[in-house]
Structure 1
Amino acid sequence: MVDASAVRQLYRLFLNREPESETAIDNLLHRPLYAAVHSLVASAEFGRGPSADLTVGRPLWGGATPDPALTAWAGDALPLGEETREAVRARARSWAALYLALAEDEILGPILSDTGAFTPDRLAALRNVAALVGRLEEADADRVRGWAVRTDALDTPVALELWADGVFCAAALSDGFRRDVQDQFGGSGRAGFDILVPPAMRSRRPQLLLEVRAAGAPMIVGRASVETGTPGVDLLAATLDEVRHARLALERLEARLPYLETRLSVPFAAYDAYRRAWPATGDEATAAGPDRDADMDVVVDIGAATDRELDQTVRALLEQSRPARRLVLVGDEARRPLALDLANRAAWRDGSAIRFAPSGAPTPAERISAGLEQASDASTVLLLRAGDVPAIGALAWLGAAFARSAQVEAVYMDEDVLAPGEEAFDPDERRRVGPRLKPGPDPDLLAQTPYVGAPLAFRRSALDRVGLDAKAGALCGADALLALPPAAVAHVPRVLVSSPARADDLAPWAGCVERRLGLATEPRTDILGADIAGAVRVRRPTPPVRAAVIIPTRDALDLLRPCVDSVMAHAASNGVHADLLIIDHESRDPGTLAYLSDLATGGHARVLPHQGEFNWALMNNLAAAETDADVLVFLNNDTVVLSPDWLDELAAQAMRPEVGVVGCRLVYGDGAIQHAGFVAREQREGFLTHEGVGAPGSDPGYLGRHGLLRSAVAVTGACMAVRAEIFRRLGGFDAASFPVEGNDVDLCLRAQSEGLRVLYDPYATLYHLESRTRGFNTDPERQARADAANAILWARWGQRFGRDPGFNPHFDRTLRPFSRLRPPPAGA
């Protein structure tokens, strides 16, 4: 007999909603479970929902995914055969797959068939819909993009049709390679589609209903309602309001969402429209900080700027939502008349104080220092160059950043570029291009490249303490940041300054790093050819330590031998000695056993046998207990070392006292990137994702992220270095909660929770034939394992680490990292 809780679950399972009233619950209460199921499936509402969707090939319940808690309940509570029960518990991939499993079950199937909802024709349609998996990811009036694959024919592209307002207008194949789809389902990965909308269809009417269908069958991959004109900025809010208040129109409203997400998840090419839609007004910042922390002077280095550029900078500063206490213009005597005129006009208008500081010094550092002598006693100062155009809320945002913490001594901000060739226009009319949406403070990244930029704000006390170095040239502000403690630097992730296109000389940066940090540098080279202009490589001394390279394996000699050979082949290129520990997990292959025996008897490796269920975390923990090496390097057996000095590099970073975990750059066998660190996102689904997947190895990534040593929220255990003392202090890998999936990420997040840093290091690059030994997570057991690991990671760490400081909040979180822009979150 069903109770009230079971009735609610049955409503969610078959009608995708809560019961409308207590009366509805009472109507099913205390009836046999099979009778309650029969009643709901035989209802007219189920007929208007899934049954009707099957008739026309629509994704069931709008293409949503069943709640894992609901499918777990269904697997336990419904009368099902054991095979079906396990599949349902493991969480069906879609509503169609779930209903198909229930309809074909030996026990529940006859009950559902008796309702008339699952006729032979509808069962056939259900099999088709369940086999077709896909998503319409982007849609506008010009094209639709997404992916589609049949799980019963993974290597065969799906034939697709594009329909507009019920009219066929194009055909295509889902034959574009998608690494993410291949990783999820296996097969060839030929699943992507990109279909152009014919111009004749776009000119018909202001709005089109686009549908991507599987050819020859009434199966809809996705639909989107798009506008053929330019949508208003507030379209998303208006649509969401309709969704909340017009439930009867839900299907049409939901069909708009792919279009809205595409238009409001903006490509870089549309950055200027994005900037105009979400300007940095400073309203939020003004509410966040007390007035005293907006007490800021501004020093503008005129340099070689034109009179018009200087005038535009001054005008933008006078229009600030929070004005500066004093504005100091510094330049040679020839600029005094214009500076005086600007000062007079500012005083006439609103009494603003502008001073001129004469200086014919050849370097920016000397000129700025002369300007600081004319500044007031304000606690903070913003350094600009003539031609820089600050956003109207720039000083408010910077003041709020200083107000948040007395520990903050310097603040940098995001920037963009005033479009070249439009100098005749006023700044408000000029397009903005080339946004530099920077990561959070990262001392290792700064030591390689002055990514913080030239517009910088300082506490006067800090700037007086560290000074500006004339040898740094135009990089003198970033050079000063090198001398500050990392915790004293803050980032405002808003575009606060637009500047003319400049080509600053980056050559002095190596000298800045050597003088300020006492670190050796060398010209940066990249084994994959990733070019990053002006970046240097910081060389840390090879520590006098021993490393243990720990490799779990089970048979797979074709993988293990190249892995071990590559480690031994590069031994002469490394000062750090490597003890090779191979964990043999029940190998049976005679060739593998002979190879392991040869390694052991030849003194090349210690072989540690392990019996029992595969538990990657446990095996590595046990091996770590068998060595007294200073550094532990956990290495998958399907990797091959590319960087000759990889071990010296990993050991040098891992032995730094502030570092907890170091990971490497991994590439697939075809040279495409597989891992350039993890990115964290503020959502349970897809909480963590590999960065750079599928990009060419020579791709440096956004602002050089793939090719520079930097902080990362987590790195992969396929190649991970940890100081042995740190590994033991953290308690090793969590073998109980994360036997296979998620153990590497959990270790990284535990290290950060202890105040230690996690580094991604591209100077240690390896091939990784990912998942060849375990296969892809396509069966229910593996999918359930991955889902369970992600759920525990999110519950344990999501609130603390979901907002990744390296992932600028301007970037969309639902698509490929660093590929599209989203509205900046409030208070960012």
Structure 2
Amino acid sequence: MVAGLETVEAVWNEEDVRNLYRLALRREAEAEAIVQEMTAWPSDRLVRTFFTSPEFLERLEPDFQKGERPWREEETSPSELLRAWAAGRLPLSEGGRLAIVQARSWTRVYWLLFSDPQFSQVVGPELIGGAEVVAWLEKFAKADGRIEQVDGHVIRGWAVRLDDIAQSAIVEAWSGGALCSATTTNLFRRDIQDRFGGDGRFGFELSLPAEMARRNGGEVEVEVLGVPIARVRLQPEEQVLDDIAAAARELGEVRALLERLEARLPAAESGLAQPLSDYGAYAAAWRDSGLDAASSSRRGLVVVDAVGAPPRALDDTVRSLLAQTAPLERLSVALVIDSSQAALAEDLRNRCSWQGLGGVSIHLAEPSAPAQRLMAAVEQVGARGEFCLFVRAGDDLAPGAVRRIAARMDRSAQVQAVYFDEDCFADGQQEMDAVLRRRKDPVLKPGFDRDLLLQTPYVGQRAAFNTEALRRFSLEEAAGDHFAADLMLRIDAEGGVIDHVGRVLLSRWPEDSGSISWRQAVESHFRAEGAVASDHEDELGARVPGAVRVRRRADAAKACIIIATRDAVDLLRPCVESIFAMRPANATPYELLIIDHESQEPETLAYLAQLEAAGDARIMPYQGEFNWALMNNLAAAQTDADVLIFLNNDTVVRTRDWLDELVSQAQRPNVGLVGCRLLYADGTIQHAGFVAREEVYSFLTHEGVGDMGSSPGYLGRHALVHGCVAVTGACIAIRAETFRELGGFDSAAFPIEGNDVDLCMRAQAQGLKVIYDPFATLYHLESKSRGFNTDPVRQARAEAASRLLWRRWGPQFSRDPGFNPHFDRLSRPFSRLRPPPSYAG
């Protein structure tokens, strides 16, 4: 008998009937009247009725006939409460009761039921299809798993031994009846830990021999304990692109071949995410797909900087302009050249005129600062365009590029600059037609973020500007090649809108960073904001070439560090001592306010008394049900500090000047909340800000989880300050005045889960920015080993909070401007590419 569980009764109550619905049919009852009626039935009749019902059997039959995993699309597990109910109320042997409580999958639960001697007296195997069905269930009750990613000859996914959760699973790859590779599960997966429990090391990465893609048709079956979890078919790497290149070299008919391939690729790859490393194939399939925007009456001027460029480069750029889908009569071109290019420029002007592009002007310029020669051309012919697009000779504009930019300018009169995504040509293709060149190294940019741009010129060196704004602000000669990014900072400072087209509109040749560093280019902006700039250095060793560290001064502010705890002195003591250890490196005065939630352990009580007696901390008692939001609201009302820092008791401060950094950022009038970089105890990243996704059940996800602490992240995001949709409450800073104006944490709707995210989004709804700051880095010691939501009560609480967050904020914040729309929303952030959605441009 399982301790605490009741014996089986002859007649069940209404909740028993509801649980039988949940266990056998996996749904709620149709009506309460039916539930009430069934309470009069004997329990044996009820069990037999449900487990032999057509609804139950029809879910088994198709998979049994195919020999496949039952309920193979099912991504949930029976809750602990439901398993406990089944063990206590169903007719089971003593061993069956214990096994049901420990079962973690639907298949294993059903196999344990139908193989139990006492249960089979009520529902015999013959009633569900015979002993063959029970044997089939037994096979798949041993293990479960999924294949989530196949990159070339590497298969990634997860697997779990259902018969022994604590044991690592051996994952085998078979092809043509031969074992070709094997590995064990050893990668931490929190999502699978939430579902099955255990230590969370359920992920695997299985490497296959390179020749596997060509053996047995590339078909591979992945098994765990002899249980097949998936069949995959490997594709020879870049076979299609290699065929295209060979045809280009050997047949001279590449253009026609490419057109045929491009017509087939979108259909084949539709809906399939591809790894970022496979960008060449992705670009071939999707680069120009769906780029056309609504027609615009705006006139555009494209200024081509050709000084010092080879003839082929200028010719390529002009060809891409002639291929624009925007009406050519609304397009003008200014060719900025040196004296050696005069004849070529004249020839290009004639050829453009013959093909309908008549507004081509030639501007002879001596080598000088780019801003100087380009601005001179704008002053001469800028009236021809309502916006000016700056490009360089050799750039290849996508056919819909000008039309997309015009559409963005049409959005609002406040839009004064537009930038866009770009990629590079692979080396050694200069003599190939631009349309045949392989692309690489995409720069898939976030939306405009002044904090990020002050540190790194991520917007690039090609951009479009409203002509009137361009003439008003001009281009800054001192900015060198970074004139576009510099101008955007000045426009933003004056309240102008900078817009971003989340599509690759331009391909270019790789280039160096220019003669003027980004730090030199934006020195004046730092001075204007009272900030100090230095070359970027990251305490964990993350490298972001050319980036700048921006330091701001914490102006005479007092901070209050608020920590809630209940016993757990083994966690609290290292947290507090790390704060004390960093005190000499910080100029910000602070008080430490510890919320004591009914601690009982003598060691904890003695430590709290010691802190209070020494004047190192104030202790605020809190009694009642655990409500993280409420107790922190109450603590915030007990201090006169200017800045509040809410800190988990299982964190340890790593950054010496963490307090000055957080306070200086929180004091900025346009900032609502500041979050930090969190590390697991093994030095890998736990949190580098949240990203939002257009997914109801996975609205938010942590960025950077599991990456090495020294990883800079995509475009340096892990190692640079930037705006994000939300930050975690394990360590957040906020001005006390702002906290009160926002109403504090919502302790009624989000007592435990989701209160940090809700506060972040309320701040953004009021026009305040939420920023992630890696220059305050802490360890979050408990989180990785503990996992989250391992019991059904916590799991249900988290799911309810997630649903409420979606209802409140999903429509407003799910399209995260920091999360470029090219990236797949269901994979790890910034790791895989999806076909660009229609709204991206």
Same-fold status (TM-score > 0.5): yes
The one-letter amino acid paired with 1:491 is H
User: Does 1:731 find its partner at 2:737?
Assistant: no
Could you tell me which amino acid in structure 2 is paired with residue 394 of structure 1? A
Quote the residue 1:389 is aligned against. Answer: 396
CA contact (8 A) 1:284 1:827 kept: no
**Partner SS, residue 410 of structure 2:** helix
| C-alpha separation in 1, matches of 2:275 and 2:786 | 36
Deviations 1:63-105 (A, max 9, x none): 323599xx99999999984999xx9xx9x97543664698799
SS at match of 1:303: coil
Is 1:704 equivalent to 2:713 in the alignment?
no
- Residue range with higher mean Cα deviation, 400-409 or 230-239: 230-239
The C-alpha deviation readout for 1:427-483, integer Å capped at 9, x for no partner, is: 112111110000011010011111000110000111112111111100011110010
Q: CA deviation at 1:683?
A: 0.6
The equivalent of 2:252 in structure 1 is none
CA 1:706–1:66: 2 relative to 1, 3 Å: closer
1:791 is the counterpart of 2:800: no
Q: Which residue of 2 aligns with 1:246?
A: none
How many residues of Structure 1 are paired with residues of Structure 2 in the alignment?
783
Matched, 1:146 2:157: yes
Q: Deviations over 1:550-605 (max 9, x none)?
A: 01112222221111111112122212111100111222222221111111011000
Q: Given the superposition, is the C-alpha separation of residues 697 and 772 from structure 1 closer, same or farther in structure 2, using an over 3 Å criterion?
A: closer
Match of residue 497, structure 1, among 484, 503, 506: 506
CA distance in structure 1 between the partners assigned to 2:469 and 2:686 by the alignment = 42
Q: Distance in 2 between matches of 1:369 and 1:363?
A: 10
Q: Deviations over 1:644-698 (max 9, x none)?
A: 1111111111111111110000111221111100111111222111111111111
Task: Check 1:593–1:80 CA distance in 2 against 1; reply closer, same or farther (3 A cut).
Answer: closer
* Alignment check: 8 A CA contact 1:545 1:577 kept: yes
Give the superposition deviation at 1:547: 0.6
CA distance in structure 2 between the aligned counterparts of 1:310 and 1:137, rounded to whole angstroms: 45
Superposed counterparts of 1:254-653, under 5 Å: 264-280=272-288, 283-285=291-293, 287=294, 290-293=295-298, 295-322=299-326, 323=328, 325-375=331-381, 376-485=383-492, 488-505=497-514, 507-516=516-525, 518-519=528-529, 520-653=532-665
Q: Hey, what's the Cα distance between the residues in 2 that align with 1:274 and 1:575?
A: 51
When structure 1 is superposed on structure 2, of 735-744 and 718-727 the one drifting more is: 735-744
Contact 2:331 / 2:359 at 8 angstroms: preserved in 1? yes
Alignment of 1:655-734 (within 5 A): 655-734=667-746
Conservation of the 8 A alpha-carbon contact between 2:266 and 2:286 = no
Name the CA distance, whole Å, in 1 between partners of 2:438 and 2:402: 22
SS in 2 for 1:537: strand
Q: Secondary structure at 1:424's aligned position in 2?
A: coil
Tell me if the contact between 1:546 and 1:631 (Cα under 8 Å) persists in the aligned partners.
yes
Call closer, same or farther: CA 1:141–1:575 in 2, change over 3 Å. closer
Q: Give 2:75's match in structure 1, choosing from 65, 81, 101.
A: 65
Contact 1:80 1:107 in 2 (8 A): no
- 1:546–1:387 Cα change, 3 Å: same
Q: Which residue of 2 aligns with 1:244?
A: none
Cα distance in 1 for residues equivalent to 2:558 and 2:114: 60
Any idea what the Cα deviations from partners look like across 1:707-757, whole Å, max 9, x if unmatched? 000001110111000111111121211222222221111111111112111
Answering whether residue 764 of structure 2 is matched by residue 752 of structure 1, we say yes
* Aligned residue identity for 1:268: L
Secondary structure at the aligned position of 2:404 is classed as helix
Q: 1:29 to 1:378 in 2, by over 3 A?
A: farther
3-state SS of 2:839 partner:
coil
The partner residue of 1:221 within 229, 246, 251 is 229
Partner of 1:250: none
* CA distance in 2 between partners of 1:75 and 1:798 (Å): 33
Deviations 1:249-296 (A, max 9, x none): xxxxxxxxxxx79x93112232122112112356541x3xx4213x11
> Could you tell me how far 1:501 is from its partner in structure 2?
0.8
1:73-222 map, 5 Å: 81=89, 94-96=105-107, 99=110, 112=123, 116-117=127-128, 126=137, 129=140, 132-139=143-150, 142-150=153-161, 153-164=164-175, 167-180=177-190, 184=194, 185=196, 187-197=198-208, 202-203=213-214, 206=217, 208=219, 210-216=220-226, 219-222=227-230
Aligned amino acid, residue 416 of structure 2: E
- The offset of 1:542, in angstroms, is 1.5
Give the match's secondary structure for 1:751.
helix
Q: Give the superposition deviation at 1:159.
A: 2.0
> By how many angstroms is 1:392 displaced?
1.0
**What secondary structure does 2:223 align onto?**
strand
TM-superposed deviation, 1:792: 1.5
- Partner residue of 2:243? none
Write the letter of the residue equivalent to 2:204: F
Per the TM alignment, residue 36 of structure 1 is displaced from its structure 2 partner at its CA by: 7.9
3-state DSSP class of the match of 1:60? coil
Residue 137 of structure 1: how far off its partner (Å): 0.5
Q: Distance in 2 between matches of 1:14 and 1:227?
A: 41
1:120 deviates by 8.4
Q: List alignment gaps of at least 5 residues for structure 2.
A: 1-10, 93-97, 241-260
Q: Secondary structure of the residue that 2:727 maps to in structure 1?
A: coil
Percent identity (aligned): 48
Q: Mind listing any 5+ residue stretches in structure 1 that lack a counterpart? A: 20-24, 240-259
Contact 1:169 1:198 in 2 (8 A): no
* TM-score w.r.t. length of structure 1: 0.85
- 1:805 and 2:817 correspond: yes
Change (3 A) 1:108 1:484: farther
Other-structure match for 2:4: none
CA distance, structure 2, for counterparts of residue 586 and residue 37 of structure 1: 45
How far has the Cα of 1:357 moved from its partner?
Answer: 1.1
Deviation at 1:504, TM superposition (A): 1.8
Range with bigger deviation, 602-611 or 567-576? 567-576
> Within 1, Cα distance between the matches of 2:18 and 2:474?
68
> Aligned pair in 2 of structure 1 residues 163, 450: CA closer, same or farther (>3 Å)?
same
Q: Distance in 1 between matches of 2:172 and 2:420?
A: 46
SS at match of 1:300: strand
Deviation readout 1:51-74 (Å, 9 max, x if unpaired): 675798743222323599xx9999
Change (3 A) 1:45 1:663: closer
Q: 1:342 to 1:576 in 2, by over 3 A?
A: same
How far residue 827 of structure 1 moved from its aligned partner, in angstroms, is 2.8
Distance 1:596 1:135, change over 3 A: same
Determine the C-alpha separation between the residues in 1 that align with 2:88 and 2:262. 50
> In structure 2, what is the Cα distance between the partners aligned to 1:302 and 1:390?
15
Change in 2 beyond 3 A, CA 1:822/1:65: same
**Counterpart code for 2:297:** R
Shift of 1:762: 0.5
The alignment partner of 2:822 has SS state of coil
**TM-score calculated relative to the size of structure 2:** 0.84
In structure 2, the CA distance between the partners of 1:82 and 1:673, relative to structure 1 (3 Å rule), is farther
Corresponding residue SS for 2:172:
strand
